[in-house]
Amino acid sequence: MEESISNKIDLHKININSNPPTEEPSRQYFFMAKCRGWVKDFEEKNGRTPTACVTTFGCQMNARDSEKLLGILEAIGFSPSDSEQADFVIYNTCTVRDNANQRVYGRLGVLKRYKKANPRMKVALCGCMMQEATVIEKLKKSYSFIDLIFGTHNIYKFAELLWASFESEGMLIDIWKDTDKIVEDLPVERKYPYKSGINIMFGCNNFCSYCIVPYVRGRERSREPGEIIREIERLVAEGVVEVMLLGQNVNSYGKNLDEPITFAQLLRKVEQIEGLERIRFMTSHPKDLSEELIAVMKQSKKICRHLHLPLQSGSTRILQQMNRRYTREQYIELADRIRREIPDIAITTDIIVGFPGETAEDLEETIDMVRRVKYDNAFTFIYSKRTGTPAAAMENQVPPEQVKEGFDRLLKVVQDTAREQAAKYQGRIMDALIEEIMEDRHSMEEKQSIEDEHSMEEMHSIKEKHSAENNVPMVTGRLSNNTIVHLPGDASMIGKIVPVSLDECHGFYYIGHCILDETGAK
């Protein structure tokens, strides 16, 4: 197994007085070593290690990018912090919906006060939001206290940009319009020791009319399969039992490689990795989910029984306006085929309400689709007008009051259907990967994507009741089909896959208990 370059390079042995290498990622390790000098000076002046806070807005790919940012900061010598009053604060931004941008602007107002109180504080912004020219102009005009701004295409240059920021005064901006480069093998600080996301491709070629992603993430480019396999092998050697393969549309993986390979073929290679127990992936576009992929999922012992298959609308007319490139009937046929071939699979989806021109009849078709497909979960969104997308210029924008009424009706059907689907597992014994101690309300809220407040209160009281009765803490596990289960347990179980009896269904999650074998072991 090939060793990662990040495991072989000793930053202390790099000659920072020489010219920086031209090849990546060696060039970035050179600048990491340079940045360590800045950290050393900070420590001498302040008698402590500088702290860094990385805040993520957005998708799993952003979360993976943030792990890289934090890994580089820790390699340089920063200590991680959850406080936005840290010495270095970086926001990894999302721009899929306008409210994501507004959240960032709101937080920047708070950071401005922090930096006024601590002028030595460094503030950086990166991610999808930074790829919009109007955003950059607003930041330059109204948020001049920001030290460093970069985008999605040059995130691998973080160490180099950080050093340049340390050496300069004022705002440093480095935005690339596009790139064909993929640079991995940099330090990563994973959030979880037992599971990890893996970037298998970047960018998107689909150009859905409502979506800004192709404009900020660029065109599709796939990593070589050998690189992906070696990265997963290294992760497994470090104790990872579950990986999630990430891409804007994983079904398009491999098409642009010199030696093309399908996503299904990649999955077969990943499944052969010894010690890896679970494989997840997202997101799959319905237009090109192949028979080959269904067959691989059906035969696999490691691929999780969960498929995220975004619908967006149940109306063929609206789907055409969205440039989704499938019809209502084609989606139904695909969902039926998947359920027929893999009966125990959970299908989740994304749905947009209020797309320009959507009528009451269109919404009814979407609601009917939820009942027809019987989604195990759905992420429902009110249409957000994104400047720069074709949909933003469309006529017949739907009035907000009409959108809200339709959204509430859809959400009720989604919740009812999801509860019915979850109830099917009552009394069964299924394997769960134990992910964390069920400690507080915040962590519970993160686990429940469509939970209502009443159910949250119910779950909180159940946790307290079970903890009191059993005199042990509760842990949270995830089934192969992505269902959450809470059960009595302790920290020793975290990262292990254990058989769990699903005793009580509470709509979107279960309360259960771990099944012991004949020896009494879990």
Q: Tell whether the model's pLDDT for residue 2 goes beyond 90.
A: no
Q: Which residues pair with 243 in a beta bridge?
A: 196, 279
Rounded average pLDDT over 239-243: 97
In the predicted model, is pLDDT for residue 456 greater than 70? no
Lowest mean pLDDT among 183-192, 222-231, 490-499: 183-192
Q: Is the pLDDT of residue 196 over 60?
A: yes
Q: Average pLDDT for residues 42-69, to the nearest whole number?
A: 93
- Please state, in angstroms and rounded to a whole number, the distance separating the CA atoms of residues 248 and 213: 9
pLDDT band at 457 (very low <50, low <70, confident <90, very high): very low
Averaged confidence pLDDT in the chain: 90
Task: Please check whether the domain covering 195-423 is classified as CATH 3.40.47.10.
Answer: no
Report, as an integer, the average pLDDT of 376-386.
Answer: 92
List alpha helices for 2-128, DSSP H.
5-8, 26-46, 60-76, 98-117
Is the pLDDT at 94 greater than 70? The verdict is yes
User: What is the reported pLDDT for 372?
Assistant: 97
What is the structure's pLDDT at 442?
44
- Give the whole-angstrom CA distance, residue 240 versus residue 307: 21
Residue 63 to residue 469: CA distance in whole angstroms: 37
Q: Which tens digit of pLDDT belongs to each residue from 96-113? A: 877 888 999 999 999 999
Q: Is the pLDDT of residue 261 over 60?
A: yes
Whether the CB-CB separation of 224 and 253 falls below 8 Å is answered with no
- HSE-up of 255 (CA within 13 Å, CB side)? 12
Q: Mean pLDDT check: name the lowest of 6-10, 56-60, 256-260, 377-381.
A: 6-10
Rounded to an integer, what distance in angstroms lies between the CA atom of residue 268 and that of residue 275?
A: 15
Quickly list DSSP for 244-299: EEE-TTGGGTTTTSSS---HHHHHHHHHTSTT--EEEEE---GGG--HHHHHHHHH
Q: What is the pLDDT of residue 443?
A: 44
Query: How high is the pLDDT of residue 317?
Result: 98
Task: Pick 241 or 439 by higher pLDDT.
Answer: 241
What local confidence, expressed as pLDDT, does residue 451 receive? Answer: 37
- Domains of the chain: which residue ranges? 5-174, 195-423, 429-514
d(CA 122, CA 76): 15
Rounded to two decimals, the pTM is 0.85
Please report which confidence band the pLDDT of residue 435 belongs to, taking 50, 70 and 90 as the band edges. Answer: very high
pLDDT score of 518: 43
- Rounded Cα distance between 280 and 479, Å, is 12
Of 197, 234, 258, 183, the C-alpha closest to 58 is 197
Rounded CA separation 188/194 (Å) = 14
**pLDDT band at 7, cuts 50/70/90?**
low
**The pLDDT of residue 386 is above 90:** no
Angle at 438 between CA 107 and CA 302, to 5 degrees: 95
Q: Domain 5-174: what homologous superfamily? A: Cobalamin-binding domain (3.40.50.280)
Is the predicted pLDDT of residue 430 greater than 50, yes or no?
yes
Band of the pLDDT at 177, cuts 50, 70, 90? confident
**Does residue 407 surpass a pLDDT of 60?**
yes
| pLDDT number for residue 471 | 58
For residue 189, name the pLDDT band (cuts at 50, 70, 90).
confident
Sign of CA dihedral 107, 113, 114, 116: positive
pLDDT above 70 (res 462): no
Q: What is the pLDDT of residue 59?
A: 85
Query: What number is the average pLDDT over the span 303-330?
Result: 98
pLDDT of 180 above 90 = no
Looking at residue 498, what is its pLDDT? 97
The pLDDT value recorded for residue 423 is 96
pLDDT at residue 353 above 60? yes
Q: Dig out the tokens for 468 from the structure.
A: 């009191």
Instruction: Please say if the pLDDT value at position 384 is more than 50.
Output: yes
Identify the pLDDT of residue 181: 80
For the stretch 413-427, pLDDT in tens is 999 999 999 999 999
State the pLDDT at residue 464. Answer: 55
Half-sphere exposure for 265 (CA within 13 Å, toward CB): 11
Reply yes or no on whether the pLDDT at 5 is more than 80.
no
For 430, list phi and psi in degrees, rounded to 5.
-135, 155
Rg (C-alpha) for the chain, rounded Å, is: 24
In angstroms, the CA 212 to CA 218 distance is 10
| Chain segment 499-521, per-residue pLDDT in tens | 999 999 998 899 999 997 544 45
- Helix 263-271 × helix 291-299 angle, to 10°: 20
Residue 341 has pLDDT above 90, yes or no: yes
